[in-house]
Structure 1
Amino acid sequence: MSQPEPSDPRAEARTAWTRAILRDPGAIPVRASMDAGFRSYWRVAGADGSRIVMDSPPDKEDVRPWLRIRDVLEAGGVRVPQVLARDVDAGFLLLEDLGADTYLHVIDATNADALFDAAASQLLKLQAIAPPADLPAYDEALLARELRLFDEWFCGTHLGLSLQCAEVDVLDHAYRVLVDAALAQPQVLVHRDFMPRNLMPINSGPATDGPAVLDFQDAVRGPIAYDALSLFKDAFLSWPEDRVDAWLDRYHARAVAAGLPVPALARFRRDADLIGVQRHLKVIGIFARLHHRDGKPKYLADVPRFFGYLDQALPKYPELAGLHGFIEQRVKPAMAQRAGGDRA
């Protein structure tokens, strides 16, 4: 005799809330997507069309920061998901359904110029918003903590490297360069994950309506080049370097025209490279942590993409020669050895 499926109290609560809010006792939320964190999204069909239920378990991921930044962005003219109903204490939101496809699903070599231009329009609006006074700063402590994810989770936990004192000194020096460069940039509102997976094309309404911006709850006040670099050097999609350079130049020209505090182009390109190195190292560490701590191994498949980005940036900067050498002489051989062991 087969055993009954174990009950899932969270799923039961989600279904009950959805049915009550839609006044539809037969409504069934069907998984639409899931974040790298604890939030999940569920599509539900109703009499008035499709809706999305955001499930953000309050003991794991408070929905209030998401709602707060959503309101800040909307007030600044940024296209964000509309909230149709909420139960903040339970961690449930009913949102408009923006469709199943993000930029990541629809972008290709032929439409990338137009889609990135539309994305830059949203980014320029976002960066023009005065950061709330109590918004966290992308300060030295946060920048350094993120960089240490690379040595702790990728080099240590994932590759099993035990760093020598001289290697620790090399990383300390490189991290000092990267942190100082980030802090020296003009500071604006920073999304922190402004990339194709978090942009939704809007297929109805005025052309200026989209794309809609998602996953903004970790916004901070920080370096102006961060989000533009994240957009063009994506975690899940790579572009030829000459196209990325052209997109960065066009973003810069539009930012100047919009009155944003970008530096001269040569300085901006350096800023983008260096904050990019910081982000690439951080994301490599996060992807290793998602695998080893959170049981989400799929992100590791994109780690080589970030080493490709590092290969493009590091040789340009003599002050990062030590980091470049450490990656070439210690990290990449250890990656190859681990890959060989995984295949064995």
Structure 2
Amino acid sequence: MTDTAATPTTLPRETQRLDWARHATHDADLGLARASADAGFRSYWRTTGTEPSRIVMDSPPDKEDVKPWLRIRALLEGNGVRVPHLLAEDTEHGFLLLEDLGPDTYLHVLHADNADALFDDAITQLLRIQATPIPEGMPVYDEALLLRELRLFDEWFLGKHLAIVPDVHDEQTLERVHRVLIDAALAQPQVFVHRDFMPRNLMPAADGPAVLDFQDAVKGPIAYDPLCLFKDAFVSWPQARIDAWLDRYHARAVDAGLPVPPLERFRRDVDLIGVHRHLKVIGIFARLHHRDNKQHYLEDAPRFFAYLDHVLPKYPELAPLAELIERRVKPTLVEYAHWTDGTGDE
């Protein structure tokens, strides 16, 4: 790995990116083709005209500092986690040169017949992540962060997307539910948490899967990442299979010496941290839609309401949230769909 020469910041970003990639690969004829983008400001570009191909991560410094990604990558690699190999870096201008792991993530290749084997490989990587020593100063999934995430649902989905103005009763309901979910999260054993450990962030690899998108890692509840893996944002599985995978994870975590609680308590932890994540992701999808003009994410919001429909009836302390969703959210969703599917007059 080498540091590369400075890139003039007065040039258009696409020119900076191409010039840097050519310098980093020592190939003046190299081209770049879009490989993928994520929900943030980073983008990924595949080199063309040379073999083997490489990936350029473009992370504009004024929008998304690449240094947290590099710090977490080094921590994970040091604990045996399969992460993308780093070939060159320019932290000042936000460019990285990485190995090319191909076009497909787990999301593309998972199906009913191979899911058991692929998820078992994913659990292997997850156990290594959770066993990674937590460095001093690492961000913590504390009460402030948990509450800030929960309020994404209130602000962006209820308020901005559905134009629901909560009355006093609704506000009290949300506050009580927030308290239940926050207390449950803080009571869990705390480990190294990826925060988005889902199929779209796993890449098939012979010694993998390789783990992506780990820059927002924190110290937090042990059930968070297993929940993310099996109750994904973009694909749903039968509940019986999810339960079996969670039990398999739990057994392997016990064998690995991780601080998982007894199985029944772990299942409850998964459910409650799942409600937290489902509400957060619905809010994030609404924010991506309205703030960032990334409109396709909201198409998956119904998946999260289905997750909530499964869990909320199991817990009396969450009954107020279930009642709020039935009384105010679902009728508004139906009306919203009417106005946005071409059947309304708007």
Q: TM-score, normalised by structure 1?
A: 0.96
Aligned mate of 2:338, from 337, 340, 344: 340
- Return the letter of the residue paired with 2:150: L
Provide the residue aligned with 1:68 in structure 2: 71
- From 297, 300, 320, the equivalent of 2:298 is 300
Contact preservation (8 Å) 2:33, 2:48: no
d(CA) in 2 for partners of 1:8 and 1:107? 41
Greater shift after overlay, 115-124 or 46-55? 46-55
| Mapped partners of 2:274, 2:109: distance in 1 | 24
Secondary structure of residue in 1 paired with 2:31: coil
Alpha-carbon separation, structure 2, partners of 1:282 and 1:320: 16
| Structure 2 spans left out of the alignment, 5+ residues | 1-9
Secondary structure of 1:42 counterpart? strand
Whether 1:12 and 2:53 are equivalent positions in the alignment is no
Q: Distance in 2 between matches of 1:22 and 1:114?
A: 36
Q: Match for 2:120 among 73, 92, 117?
A: 117
Distance in 1 between the 2:301 and 2:80 partners? 34
What secondary structure does 2:19 align onto?
helix
In structure 2, distance between residues paired with 1:246 and 1:145: 32
Q: Which residue of 1 aligns with 2:315?
A: 317
Name 2:3's counterpart in structure 1.
none
Q: Does 1:194 align with 2:197?
A: yes
CA deviation profile, 1:280-317 (whole Å, cap 9, x unmatched): 00000000000000000010000000000000110000
Aligned-partner Cα distance in 2 for 1:94–1:268: 40
Distance (whole Å) between structure 1 residues aligned to residue 13 and residue 26 of structure 2: 19
Partner of 1:31: 34
> Which one-letter code corresponds to 1:251 in the other structure?
Y
Report what 2:4 is aligned to.
none
Work out which of the residue numbers 161, 164, 169 in structure 2 matches 1:161. Answer: 164
Q: Letter of the aligned partner of 2:149 in structure 1?
A: E
Of 107, 110, 114, 1:104 maps to 107
Q: How does 1:73-152 map to 2 (within 5 A)?
A: 73-152=76-155
Contact 1:182 1:271 in 2 (8 A): yes
Tell me what 2:269 maps to: 271
Pick the aligned partner of 1:256 from 250, 254, 257. Answer: 254
**Is 1:170 the counterpart of 2:173 in the alignment?**
yes
- Aligned mates of 1:175, 1:324 — CA distance in 2: 13
CA contact (8 A) 2:41 2:64 kept: yes
What residue is the counterpart of 2:182 in the other structure?
A: 179
Residues 57 and 90, structure 1, Cα contact 8 Å, conserved in 2? yes
CA contact (8 A) 1:22 1:46 kept: no
- Distance (whole Å) between structure 2 residues aligned to residue 168 and residue 96 of structure 1: 49
Aligned length: 333
Are the counterparts in 2 of residues 24 and 46 from structure 1 also a CA contact under 8 Å? no
Name the SS of the counterpart of 1:221 in structure 2.
strand
Structure 1 runs (4+) greater than 6 angstroms displaced: none
Q: Tell me by how many angstroms 1:263 deviates.
A: 0.3
The amino acid of 1:260's aligned partner reads: L
Identity, % of aligned positions: 68
Matched residue SS, 1:93: strand
Structure 2 distance, partners of 1:297, 1:46, is 33
CA distance in 2, matches of 1:165, 1:8: 53
Within 1, Cα distance between the matches of 2:92 and 2:166? 45
TM-aligned CA deviation for residue 48 of structure 1: 4.1
Superposed CA deviations along residues 188-208 of structure 1, whole A, max 9, x for unmatched, are 000000000000011x4xxxx
Q: How does 1:236-255 map to 2 (within 5 A)?
A: 236-255=234-253
Q: Displacement of 1:45 after TM fit?
A: 3.1
Matches within 5 A, 1:217-232: 217-232=215-230
**Which residue identity is paired with 2:114?**
N
Alpha carbons 1:138, 1:221 under 8 Å: kept: yes
Between the aligned partners of 2:50 and 2:243, the Cα distance in structure 1 is 47
